[in-house]
Structures are given as C-alpha cells and as structure tokens.
Structure 1
C-alpha cells in the first residue's frame, strides 16, 4: 500500500517529505506510464516469482522529533572520555567553521563523485589541496585523493609493491612489528586470500633473510618509537625490495619525511587533521608514491588540465585505472574513497597552515615529553625515550590498575599487556590531563620536561605546504568565503536533481544527518572499552537486525566501509565456506559481462578466477552461455556475482533459475545490492536465491555521497556463511573470518544516518519509497522514449528504478555523442546521468523517489530541448563542431564576451529554456581536455599565476 502524501491521518509522516511526488503528481505520472494505480504498475514490473507475499514488518515509523529523542537516548548510553588510546586514532579539534560549512553543509556532503569535472571544480580543488598537503608532508611527488582507512591503505601499498616489483614480485612482504595490530591483520588477511608470504619482524634488528618484494615500516611506531629508518630502507632497496612507510602526517611536520629517507610509498591516516574519532570511521587515508609509480596508484587522482578556453581546470586523472574499465585486470577494487573526510582534512591544513600544524605537533610532543618526565621521575620504566606523541610505560603487574585509575578520571589509556601501558597525546591534551595520567601511575607532574627530544638527525629541515592556499585564509571571514566560493562552483543535490543511474542520489534528510556530529557519537574511540560504547553497539546491532529483515538474510556485518569492500567481504565469506568443506579447488567466479566493474576486481582480490558470462540482446544473462560456463567449471565453481535488478535497469524473470543452476553445481550466489533501492519491501535477495549480498548504505539507505565517500557497504548473508563474516582486525587470529577494515564496525560514524532513515520510514514507508522509485523511473522512460529510445525494458515494457537512454543511432547520424549531451545538460543546470555505463554511447538515468514531478519535468524538458538541438545538427542549421552541444558547457565569461561569432545565439547558449532566467548556474570552466591532462600529469596545486589571463 502506498503512503499517500495528502493523507490527513498522518500529516507529519516523514515518508511524505522523503517521497517527492504529491498525490496529484502520482496520478499524472501513472497516466503517462499507462497505469491506473501504483500497485498495478509494481505488480507488472516486479516478477511475481520473486515478490515477498508479506508486508515489511519493522518498528512503526517515528516522527523526526521521536527519532531524534530515540537517538539521544542511545547516544546517552555512550560514555565520553579523554581518548589517549592512540593506535592511529586521536583526539582532534574540528574548527567550527569547517564543521558547520563542510561536514554539516549539504553543498559539500550531497555532492557526487566528480566524474563530470566542469560542475565539480570546488570539490576537485579541495581534493587537490589534500594531495598537495600529502605530497609536501611525505616528500613524495604524487598522492591520491584519499583511500578508505590506514590498514586497507597499507594493504593497497603491499599489492602495489608486489605488482610493481617486476624482479622480486613473488618475494615475501616484510611488515615491521611496530605496525598497528589492525594493519598487520588486514594485510595478513589479503595475503591469505591471494596466497603470498608475509613476515612480521622487529626491524630494529635488520631485515630477515630471503627474497623480498616489499617492506612496510611505521613512523612513529605503534609503541611510539621514532627511529632513523634510512638504514633499513637502504638495505631493502639494495636487496631489490620496494619500501612503504606508514607515517603520521602530523609527526612529519617535525621529523624527516619518508621521501627524504628513500621510501617508494607513504601511507597513513589523516584522521587527526580535524576529523572526529567517529568510533573508528569514516576517516580518510592517504597514499603518496615516488615518480614512476603514479600509473599504478590505487584510488582517485585529481589532476590539472585546461578547458576549451585554455583556462586551468581540475579533473580526475588516469581514469583508465577505474574498475569499470579494467574489470578483472584492475589493480585495485577501490571505487569510492573518503572524499568528504579528505576535504575536511585539507581544509584543516588550509585553516592552520604549515606553522599552525607544526605548533599543534609540538604541543602534542611536549605533552608526551611532560608525561614521560613525570613517569621517569617516579621510577616508571619507559620503553623508549625517543618518541613523538606516544609514551609506552612498563608497570609490572599493574597495567589494569593504572588503566582503571585513569578511567576513573575520565581518561582512556591503552592496555598492551598485563605489564605495559601506552599513552598517546594529541592536540586536545591539556596539562591537567597529563597531571591526571601521571597520578594514575602514582607519579606527580614535573615543572619542566627536559630531555626526550627527537633525535637531531631526524629533525625535518625541508619546507612544506608553501603554496599560497595554505597561507591565505587565516581569518574566519576569509575561510568562510573560501568554502562558500568553492561550493558555489559545484552542482550538488542541494541545488538540482542528480539523475545518475547505478548510483542512487536520494534525499539525505537533515534529521538523518543531525546525530552524527553529537559528541556522544563522534568522540568515541574504536578501542574504547565496551562499558563506554553501549549506545553505539545497541544502534549497530539494531541496524544490522533491521537490514537482515529487509533483505531476507540471517546475519549482517556493517564492517565494510565501502561497497567494494562489501563485495570483497561477501566473496571472502564464500571462500571461507568452501574451504571449511574441503573444497579449496572452488575458485571460479562467474560474472555477467554487464556487472559492475568492481565485481570482477573484488573477485580477483578474493583469490578467485573470473569467468565472464555473456549478456543476451535483451540485457539478461545469456542462458546458453551460462550453462556452458557452469558445465565447463562445475568442479571448480565457487560463485556467481549478479546484480538485481540487472545493471541494465530491468527485473529479469529468470533470477531464480540462475540461482538454482549455480546451487545445483555446488556454487554460491552473490547478489550485488547496488540496486536494492528497487527491492526494499517488495522482494528479498536472501529469499529468492542469494547466499550473500553487499548493501550500499550510501545509496539505498541515505548516507550521502560526500563528493566520493564516505560509503558503507554492509555484507548480509545466510546462516551457513555467518562464521566467515569479517572478524575484528584488532583481535583476529588468522581464521577464515578475514577482516576487511581497520576497525570492528568500519565507518560507524555515519550509521546514525541510515538508522534514522529506517526509523523515520518504517516498513510501510520504505516499501512506498521503493514503489515511487519505480514510478519515477518509468515516468522518465515513458516521457523520453520517443526522443531517446529506452534500450532495455522488462515485462510490459517497464523498467526498474533506472532506465538506459540509447543515443547510438543519433550519434551515427549526427556525430553528437552521449558526452555532448552530458556536457550540454550543465547549461540547463543539471548533473549528467551515468555516461556510457553499462553500455557505451548511452545515458543511464535514475530519478529516485525523492524527486518531485516539477524537477523531473524540468529534466525531461531539458532532454527534449537537447534532442531538438541534435535535430538542428541533423538539419544543417549548424555544424556539429559549431553547435551548442559540442561547445557546451558555456561559461559566463564566454557568454558575456564582447565578441560572439557562433552560429547560435547567446540566449540559446546560456538560457535555452525560459525557466533558466530565474535561476541560472554557470559552470566555472568550459569543457575540459582530459587527455591532455593525462599526457602532462600535474597532481598538485598549480601556481596562482596559471590562472591569470
């Protein structure tokens, strides 16, 4: 039953606000599609064979006020403390101007990944600032635009070293015993799946014997120690190994950076650059590499090119590395990054500048020195006397006593073992806190902290962050205007519909977003004792339970911190299941040709062999080819990965048949949950044949994309796979429950968003949202089909939640490409649909249930007007090269120029529809030459002079 927006019985129901179409609009849309009722359309679109024959039973929907009260109750069960546990997670102050105007500003958090660079110049500049900051601090020339967390970044570096070391790639990977335990666990888990050797060793005694592919060091070490690593690096290089240093960026303001010590790669976390603890995430990681490794660098890379007028412009570089293109040959399965958190960190650096960062580092170091002096003065043994911010103390038999005494004062320390305690200072540490910690040890604070200086030979002498962007915005007024100026250059969901197929861009309601920055959620350390995290664990358990009910699975883990990691976790669970049954030979993963590219890349990382299944002309799986592949690989078949509804935006009738065929051959069925937005309340993948799925909370369950992350990709599975779900990296012992993220609950910090969405909607509201999503997509398809034919349809000529518009015939006749249409849409104030995926020469459109009829009609009107311009090209009114399509998008500078020699009028260029006169977005740059930028790779902030005319 639909939730009617005009219902007098529920005037304040949140579903009425989440679903964009009013009751009269629904009638109009149904009429255009040819149906009398919403349920009638749904019954035709969704195959009866997969429909759940019972309503989605969840707790009754709550109002916004009730949901926030419930979240306050849950948050109140967490206990805030001074967090001195460290281990890669530190207290930090988020400057309020950044908290309010980035983290809590929909202009930043609702933006999509910047694949359309002309309308992404603001977030691209912010990410370029991030890359420049990382490059300068690490003294390495190329950095990416963030990775998921430090542990997985180290794992990516290990894989990079193995594939880049042509001579020694099959050698062992050596991990410094000083790496954080969660990092060692994640790397060992990847090695277990891929079958390469990992050696953990105390590298203070030198490198182990044998052939080495790569070495990973930690600076400072997990114990806090700061060592000169150049001898070990030199030895490793002499033996043909590549070297990665996991480095604390704040420490690098004071000590010699990895690049200057000879490292090939540097990785780490930027969490302490203004990003809250968030109970473990989301936090942006970084990776920087030496020259020559940039084309193997995982993740996204922002570069500088020029637009059609020769103006410097930013864009994503080297996109041929993206998984949708390289698939099983991809060098990484990373799809999303942590863009929003990388932007926060970059703005923290802009706000403080190099001098401010150095001062923060000195304060943290001085706090640690003051504590060390107090402990030493009291006779406490220190493990090291050369450290940055972390002191490790030996207190034989007293560790539990000391930690309990500190906790009684509201301070969390790290218990290493029964005899050893670790204490990490940070920018929030005060003299009073140091005095309390000293007292917990039975010591007294000292007047001055003499000694414990960093080694003179390790002190940094090189400059960093010298670009003017890091010294130009010192007052809050300047900073505020800089943030506003950048956000105004972009198109995000707060300004316009983002009609992307495959990547749901629905409402991220303010009530859903509100709780994530509350201190009771945001300030909790991931390794805080369970007695302090009752609220977090209640919320997570409740969300996991509700997701299991929604999907029809038995168990859910929210650990994976991206959809790609959820894919990997699901495949690792399948791997573990087969191994538990003695079926180690089952390594073949069947993947339809139309599948998301990360599917194939994830299968490779899970140690599987990808076998592609052909796609039939109607977009469904080719059954003859499927049967042939099953027969050819029956004894070795591990799994099939399918997306449902299909990547082509259709409910295939045969999904149960496909699942049964795989099960009969002894394989498991992985159902990609990227399109779950079309299923919630109507069908459950766990009931129509799936053994495991990942879900994209950053799509179906309202976590915003944030310009390319954060993401959460929970993995849901049937009971027989439960023992193989991701384990806790901090305590993992090497079993088949391989962890995929650094912290037990991944990007926990954004989970209140999805929890609130489910609470606000209830089962009936979620089901209604799905029905309205199907209606919206079919309305767009019906309205545009005569202008741009819809490529694939299902029963009754209907699509699922998205549709593919086919431009190939128009391109053949006129030369106008799908990219031309994408760029021209910018002039109409729209982000483009998904370009040339899953079929080259097409556009995939998903309007979502949150868009109202007026906005959908505005998009449809724009597309119809663009078709008219294509017809003008066909009629010879102007040449393709001289058309508004090929010259799009049009900047204000171009339109306002004194001279205008184009074949079409200025008004057609800038105001092709009269409605644009009231509310016009001008892109800051014209069409960008991506190929030229890739040939001349520039991935750091260009000189200001480059922007002068």
Structure 2
C-alpha cells in the first residue's frame, strides 16, 4: 500500500467522470418514478376530477415531452452529476472573488427546506403566513442596525435587481422634484461591479466612470471635475473589487449631495465590514446586501438570491412595494407607498434566503458579526502576504493591508512563460480548487481575484496557497502542462474560440437542441 505524504498540501485529486447523458437521453417510454393512485370516486363526486374545471384555453393540446425515468435512475443521474462538480461543500473555495462562496451552516439548510417553508405559497392570505412575515420584519430590523438605513425590502431577487431598483428610486426622486430632464448622469467607478453601470444605463442614464489614482483609490479630483447640475446619483462599492477600502468615502458622498445627487452603495459583499462601518455614517442614502453571499445562503450561480435593499426615511415612499410592517401584534404588507417605483419582482423575493440570513444573524449576534469581519480581513491579509511571495504574482496599487479580497495579477508570469490567468484557472481545477479571474475587461493585466471568507481555516488557506504555488512553479518548468489543463477533471479543455458568443454553438433547452441537431443533419445530408 502506497504511503501518502500528508505533509504535502497539494492534493492528488481526480474528479469523477461518468460520461453521463442528459436526462432527456435517459428517457424510456412507460418508465415511472412513482405511480399515483386513482382518485376515489367519492372525492370526484364531491370536488370533481380537478381537470375538467380548467378553462379550455388553459389546457395543453399535447402533453409536455418530459423524460420518463425510474426513481433509482433519477437518483443515480443526479448523484453522478454532483460528483462532476466542484463546489463549496466539496473543496476549499477561495477563488470566487466577488461572489463570496463560503460555508453555509447546515442547520440553516434544514430550516429552509422544512415543509413550513417549502409548502408556502405567495398567494396565501396574510393571516396564514405570519411566521415568515415576522422573520422578514425582524431581519429588516437587524439590517437597519447593521447599515444605519431606516427601511429594508427583500423583494429584489439579486444584487443586480437591487441596483436597478435603486437606479429607479433615483429616477423617481428627481421626477417628483421636476429635475429628471436635467439630471441624466450617474457616476460610478471602474472597479465597482459592472452591474452598477449596466442597471443605471438600462434606466436611461449616461454613465460617467471614475478611474483610480496611482494608489488604486477612486480619484476624488476627477469626481469634483465631473459632478454638476446634471448629476442624478453616485453608485460605488467600497471596498471595490481590488479589496482597497476608500477611507475618504464620506467626502465623495458630500460632494455628490452638495450637487443635489443621491448616493447609493453596493454592499454585495460585506464580510469585511460587519460591525466595523455602516452605510449611514459614510453618507449613503441607499444600500443593498446580498443575502446569498454575506448572510449564509450559497450563491448558487445566481439563485436562489435576495438583494436586501435599504433606504433612509426620505426615500421610503419610493420603495418597491409592498413592505412588511408590524401593526399591533400582527404583520402586514403595506402597499400604500405614494411614489413607489412598483414591483421589481413578484411577491417578496425568496423567503428561504431571508430565513437563512435571519438564522445566521441571530446565531452570531452583534459581537459574532463583528468577529466575522475581523476573521475575513485576517484571512485575506494572510493570503495576500503569502501570494506576494509566489514567483510571477503581484497585487497592483497600494501596498499593505487589503480588506476582504484582492485582485492580483500574473502579468509578470505571463510575460516570462506565456501562461495566462485562464490557463492557471483550468490547472487549479486539477487540484480541486475553484479560481476566478476578473470581470471583463481585464483592467488589471492577467488578473485573479481571491476572497477567503471567515469560514476558512489556516489549514484551508495553506492548502490553496500550496496548490497555487505549485501551479505557478509548473508555469516556469512545464508551461505546456498548465496550458493543456485541466487533466483530472470530468471535462477537459473546450475550444473557446467563440462558443460563448456564437448562439449556433449552444442551446438553452432540449427542444432547441433537437431543433438545431435536426438542422445540422439536414445540412449534412
């Protein structure tokens, strides 16, 4: 039996590969996972068969073409797929950068999957959902304390949807004051999330983007130069995606306020801020938190998500409604908001996400939340100083402490070896690690953005650092191996010339796949 050297932190990892068909290809006519009993005649006589009462225009002409497959084959199929996937429950997850993929306490998953939650329906009478409305209201109170805002809505289904809601509130505010035609510009920064500019642009605003000074801070002199009577608002993340915190942020918000603009804050990742700084003291009128990041719920590739949107009192009347409020001993949905922007999503978002966040906050308490920030910053700075010692790696801009993440660069390594950040991303998967580069465009050359959260131990960090160091060393000694990666994954390197941008090369549904396959076959014949 081969002895394994446990002192060596680089794992001898190989991902499972099942060559698993998609579930439609596993279809067998007549196969069933469960056979439902016939409805008893007495029930039919009393309430009907449940089908003939459906209006004719709502009844399908043909049954949906769903896969017919047995229960055990369904289980086998999805378990195999799960083994072909990296995730926070499988591996040391540091490299998701701005997505804060951290461990979520499993007790919170038990709460969220309880029938008391899974069987809720958004059209139930308010009197029958007092429990979840109480949770929403009490989490609202917690987030008010954490941020300094006066009211929160959990309606937005993502951080981007919260940003769109805030841009809509800015628009509604200036419309009420008769200044919409004049105030048509939103100011943001290049290292803030791209959704900030995108959502404001969708709302019709011209986007003015501030670039950093030589230390990486947003340039305050440039802000002074672009602020004017045309300024509708200012939106920023702080820290930005570089991990650099702007200590002069209150000067920025004052400059915008003096010009008559609204200031709103992207706090998608607040891991390094909880209990340390608040949006209110920084001068912001609105902010949002991603409950599916900082507050326990797994990110899950965009859902189930909740962008908790908070505002100061003077903007409450513009909020998306309804808001959850307490009235005596009961909880109500208040839709009486005079200048509401309307709904940005149906109903109240994702209540399971709200419940997880509430459980997480209550379990930690005020001091625990502050400890989250301290440990997240400690982990990040430990990682930062270790990576600074890896050949070919650097961290542009200000030297010294960063907050909850860092945008690093392999510029030197790429110049010396030809190995790019995307090559390293694929090679890191061979050691069971996820690795994230950056939003496009790559402002930092050959970037990689790492964000260790408070849930990672020193041993976890050391394992990730050892793997990254090993891959960087390979780039200098065997660059072809890195460029040909991944070698141990279920899927190897894909021809990436244009597959993301060419709709002829992908299908969003089984039906569209069959249609394209038929077209290809016709061309060939």
TM-score tier, shorter chain, comes to: 0.7 to 0.9
Q: Does 1:791 align with 2:395?
A: yes
Alignment match, 1:820: 423
Deviation at 1:434, TM superposition (A): 7.0
Q: Deviations over 1:390-444 (max 9, x none)?
A: xxxxxxxxxxxxxxxxxxxxxxxxxxxxxxxxxxxxxxx9877777xxxxxxxx6
Alignment pair present for 1:629 and 2:233: no
**Is 1:763 matched with 2:366?**
yes
Contact 1:588/1:639, CA 8 A, preserved across alignment: yes
Query: CA 1:119/1:559 → structure 2, altered by over 3 Å: closer, same or farther?
Result: farther
Q: Distance in 2 between matches of 1:870 and 1:447?
A: 67
Q: Does the alignment pair 1:508 with 2:104?
A: yes
In the superposition, relative to structure 1, how do residues 733 and 852 fare at CA in structure 2: closer, same or farther (>3 Å)?
Answer: closer
Give 1:447 deviation, angstroms. 9.5
SS of the equivalent of 2:208 reads strand
Instruction: Answer whether contact 1:651 1:800 (CA < 8 A) is retained.
Output: yes
For the residues of structure 2 that align with 1:614 and 1:459, how far apart are their CA atoms? 55
Alpha-carbon offset, residue 673 of structure 1: 0.8
Q: Is the 8 A contact 1:516 1:750 kept in 2?
A: yes
* 3-state SS of 2:340 partner: coil
For the 8 Å contact 1:692–1:716, the answer to whether it is kept is: yes
In structure 2, the partner of 1:537 is 133
Which of 836, 846, 862 is the matching residue for 2:451?
846
Separation in structure 1 between the aligned mates of residue 247 and residue 273 of structure 2, nearest angstrom = 14
Partner of 1:937: 505
Q: Is the 8 A contact 1:803 1:846 kept in 2?
A: yes
Residue 534 to residue 464, structure 1, CA distance change in 2 (3 Å): closer
Partner of 1:483: 78
- 1:787-840 alpha-carbon deviations (Å, 9 max, x no partner): 25442465x711111112211122122211001111111112211133466634
SS at match of 1:502: helix
Change (3 A) 1:731 1:679: closer
Q: What does residue 473 of structure 2 align with?
A: 868
The residue aligned with 1:590 is 187
Secondary structure of the corresponding residue to residue 930 of structure 1: coil
- Unpaired stretches in structure 2, ≥5 consecutive residues: 1-13, 324-332, 518-525
Matches for 1:342-421 after TM superposition, within 5 Å: none
Pairing 1:418-437 to 2, within 5 Å after superposition: none
State the distance in 1 between where 2:336 and 2:200 align: 23
Find the partner of 2:173 among 570, 577, 581.
577
Could you report, residue by residue, the CA deviation over 1:336-373 in whole angstroms, capped at 9, with x for unpaired residues? xxxxxxxxxxxxxx89989979x99xx9xxxxxxxxxx
Q: Distance in 2 between matches of 1:811 and 1:740?
A: 47
| Residues 1:525 and 2:93 aligned together | no
Q: Select 2:263's aligned residue among 666, 669, 685.
A: 669
SS at match of 2:408: strand
DSSP 3-state at the match of 1:780: helix
> Aligned residue for 1:701?
295
Structure 1 residue 498: deviation in Å? 1.8
Could you state the TM-score of these two structures normalised by the residue count of structure 1?
0.47
Q: Is the 8 A contact 1:592 1:642 kept in 2?
A: yes
Aligned mate of 1:604, from 198, 201, 215: 201
Q: Summarize the Cα distance change of 1:834–1:449 in structure 2 as closer, same or farther, 3 Å threshold.
A: closer
Q: Distance in 2 between matches of 1:686 and 1:353?
A: 61
Find the counterpart in structure 2 of residue 422 from structure 1: none
Tell me by how many angstroms 1:508 deviates. 0.6
Aligned to 1:392: none
Structure 1 counterpart of 2:159, from 534, 538, 563 = 563
1:726-765 pair list within 5 angstroms: 726-728=320-322, 736-765=339-368
Q: Aligned residues, how many? A: 481
Deviation at 1:448, TM superposition (A): 11
Rate the CA distance shift 1:125–1:530 in 2: closer, same or farther, 3 A: farther
Instruction: Confirm or deny: 8 A CA contact 2:190 2:211 kept in the other structure.
Output: yes
What is the CA deviation profile of residues 125-181 of structure 1, one whole-angstrom value per residue up to 9, with x for unaligned ones?
89x76xx89xxxxxxxxxxxxxxxxxxxxxxxxxxxxxxxxxxxxxxxxxxxxxxxx
The question of whether the paired residues in 1 share the 8 Å contact of 2:422 and 2:437 is answered with no
Instruction: Give the CA RMSD over aligned residues.
Output: 3.5
Shift of 1:619: 2.0
Alpha-carbon distance between aligned partners in 2 of 1:635 and 1:352, rounded to the nearest angstrom: 67
CA drift at 1:728: 3.4
Contact 1:781 1:790 in 2 (8 A): no
d(CA) in 1 for partners of 2:76 and 2:296?
29
Deviation of the 1:625 alpha carbon: 2.0
Cα distance, 1:928 vs. partner? 1.3
How much does 1:540 deviate? 0.5
Task: Indicate the SS of the match to 2:506.
Answer: coil
Q: Would you say 1:464 and 2:65 are equivalent positions? A: yes
Larger Rg: 1
**Is residue 616 from structure 1 mapped to residue 213 from structure 2 by the alignment?**
yes
Query: Residues 448, 725 of structure 1: CA spacing in aligned structure 2 closer, same or farther, 3 A cutoff?
Result: closer
Structure 1 residues 851, 452: CA separation in 2 closer, same or farther (over 3 Å shift)? closer
Asked if structure 2 preserves the Cα contact closer than 8 Å seen for 1:822 and 1:835, the reply is: no
Label 1:766 to 1:612 Cα distance change in 2 as closer, same or farther (>3 A).
same
CA distance in 1, matches of 2:29, 2:158: 31
Deviations, residues 887-916 of structure 1 (Å, cap 9, x unaligned) = 1110xxxxxxxxxxxxxxxxxxxxxxxxxx
Q: CA deviation digits over 1:755-812, x for unaligned, max 9? A: 1100111111110011000000100010110225442465x71111111221112212
How much has 1:462 moved relative to structure 2? 8.6
Does 1:800 find its partner at 2:373?
Answer: no
SS in 2 for 1:929: coil
8 A contact 1:351–1:479 mirrored in 2: no
Q: Secondary structure at the match of 1:628?
A: helix
Shift of 1:455: 7.1
1:858 equivalent in structure 2: 463
Whether the 8 Å CA contact 2:92–2:432 is kept in 1: the answer is no
Deviations 1:77-130 (A, max 9, x none): xxxxxxxxxxxxxxxxxxxxxxxxxxxxxxxxxxxxxxxxx98999x989x76x
Question: Take 2:420 and 2:145, find their aligned partners in 1: how far apart are those partners?
Answer: 44
Q: How far apart, CA to CA, are the structure 2 residues paired with 1:681 and 1:843?
A: 28
Q: Tell me the alpha carbon deviations over residues 697-734 of structure 1, each in whole angstroms, 9 at most, x when there is no partner.
A: 11110111224311110111111111111113999799
Deviation, 1:521, is: 2.2
| Alignment pair present for 1:692 and 2:286 | yes
SS of 1:933's equivalent in the other structure is coil
Gaps of 5+ in 1: 1-117, 134-349, 364-428, 436-443, 873-877, 891-921
- SS of 1:611's partner is strand
Q: TM-score of the superposition, structure 2-length normalised? A: 0.83
Please tell me whether the aligned partners of residues 692 and 715 of structure 1 are also in contact (alpha carbons under 8 angstroms).
Answer: yes
